[in-house]
């Protein structure tokens, strides 16, 4: 069993969001970088659990990014995984990134490809779907549970107002969300071991981008909260009904 886990570098959840270069670039000044939480907590940890259940499993990590993505991929290796591949490219659009991952996947011959359900910066939710189409593989998105019996995957995915149970034969692409696994903290053995795990750097393949960022902006600030006395709950309800027209 060979699993490929897609890892993305994102700003920390508490990072200040600001832009430079006439609002065309994210201001990375003072930003702490983390592994995209969906990639780490759900995709990677579930892959590690599958390897714990079947030690013959091999886990590869892939990231598309410049050299400054290496601390993140080392941190991911500290959690688990056997080796990592970094496609040496600056981030472009989802199609470009998915094409690079698909190329790595073709070379590696994986049975299973995990992505997080989205990154917390671009919120595209697109990489898993694009990779699956590029490889012509089945895709289950927003998986909350994943189990394997031989080459058959049993998956629970979210649907509106409930869950759907799926069975799919490998190979397959899955995007992972809450429920798949629980967050782990790397231990000292993992951190030490990660330093010597192979991290291959490969050149990107030539791919067009389909979209580009024209500019960023910040949403208008809230006008400020209108406080109502706890002894006058009727007034709040009246405001919601008559002023906000929300009920």
The binder of other proteins chosen from 5, 76, 112, 137 (CB under 8 A): 137
Task: Closer to other proteins by CB, 90 or 136: give it.
Answer: 136
Determine contact, residues 176/117, Cβ cutoff 8 Å.
yes
Kindly state the helix (H) or strand (E) to which residue 237 belongs, with its residue range. helix 233-238
Can you list the pairs that 82-85 forms with residues at least 24 positions away whose Cβ atoms lie under 8 Å? 82/58, 82/197, 82/198, 83/197, 83/198, 83/199, 83/200, 84/7, 84/60, 84/197, 84/198, 84/199, 84/200, 85/60, 85/61, 85/199, 85/200, 85/201, 85/202
Determine contact, residues 149/38, Cβ cutoff 8 Å.
no
The binder of other proteins chosen from 50, 77, 79, 140 (CB under 8 A): 140
What is the phi/psi pair of residue 179, to 5°? Answer: 110, -30
Task: Closer to other proteins by CB, 67 or 244: give it.
Answer: 244
Q: How big is the site for other proteins, counted in residues (CB under 8 A)?
A: 81
79 near other proteins (CB under 8 A): no
Q: Which string of x and - marks every residue 98-127 that binds other proteins (by CB under 8 A)?
A: x---------------------xxxxxxxx
Task: Closer to other proteins by CB, 13 or 196: give it.
Answer: 13
Task: Closer to other proteins by CB, 33 or 95: give it.
Answer: 95
Task: Closer to other proteins by CB, 185 or 244: give it.
Answer: 244
The binder of other proteins chosen from 1, 37, 108, 184 (CB under 8 A): 37
| Shortest Å, Cβ 193 to other proteins | 27
The residues pairing with 87 across neighbouring beta strands, listed in sequence order, are: 64, 202
Q: Which string of x and - marks every residue 55-74 that binds other proteins (by CB under 8 A)?
A: --------------------
Kindly state the helix (H) or strand (E) to which residue 34 belongs, with its residue range. strand 33-35
The binder of other proteins chosen from 29, 162, 196, 206 (CB under 8 A): 162
- Contact positions with other proteins (CB under 8 A) in 7-26: 11, 13-14, 17, 19
Distance from C-alpha of 211 to C-alpha of 227, rounded to nearest angstrom:
44
The binder of other proteins chosen from 72, 128, 146, 176 (CB under 8 A): 128
Q: Is 106 helix (H, G, I), strand (E, B) or coil?
A: helix
- Contact positions with other proteins (CB under 8 A) in 182-241: 208-219, 222-223, 225-230, 233-234, 236-241
């Amino acid at each position: 069993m060979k699993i490929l886990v897609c890892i993305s570098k994102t700003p920390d959840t508490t990072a200040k969001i600001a832009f430079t270069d006439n609002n065309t670039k994210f201001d990375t000044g003072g930003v702490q970088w983390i592994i995209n939480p969906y990639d780490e907590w759900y995709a990677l940890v579930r892959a590690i659990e599958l390897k714990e259940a079947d030690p013959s499993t091999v886990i590869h990590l892939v990231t598309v990014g410049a050299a400054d993505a290496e601390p993140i991929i080392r941190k991911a290796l500290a959690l688990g995984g056997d080796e990592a591949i970094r496609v040496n490219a600056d981030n472009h659009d989802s199609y470009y990134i998915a094409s690079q991952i698909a190329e790595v996947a073709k070379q590696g011959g994986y049975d299973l490809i995990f992505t997080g359900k989205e990154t917390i910066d671009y919120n595209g939710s697109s990489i898993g779907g694009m990779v699956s189409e590029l490889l012509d593989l089945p895709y289950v998105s927003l998986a909350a549970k994943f189990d394997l019996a031989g080459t058959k995957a049993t998956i629970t995915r979210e649907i509106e107002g409930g869950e759907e149970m799926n069975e799919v034969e490998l190979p397959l692409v899955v995007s992972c969300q809450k429920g798949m696994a629980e967050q782990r903290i790397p231990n000292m053995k993992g951190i030490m071991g990660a330093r010597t795990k192979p991290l291959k750097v490969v050149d990107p393949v030539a791919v067009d981008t389909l979209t580009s960022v024209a500019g960023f902006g910040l949403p208008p600030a809230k006008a400020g909260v209108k406080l109502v006395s706890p002894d006058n709950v009727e007034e709040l309800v009246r405001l919601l009904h008559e002023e906000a027209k929300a009920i």
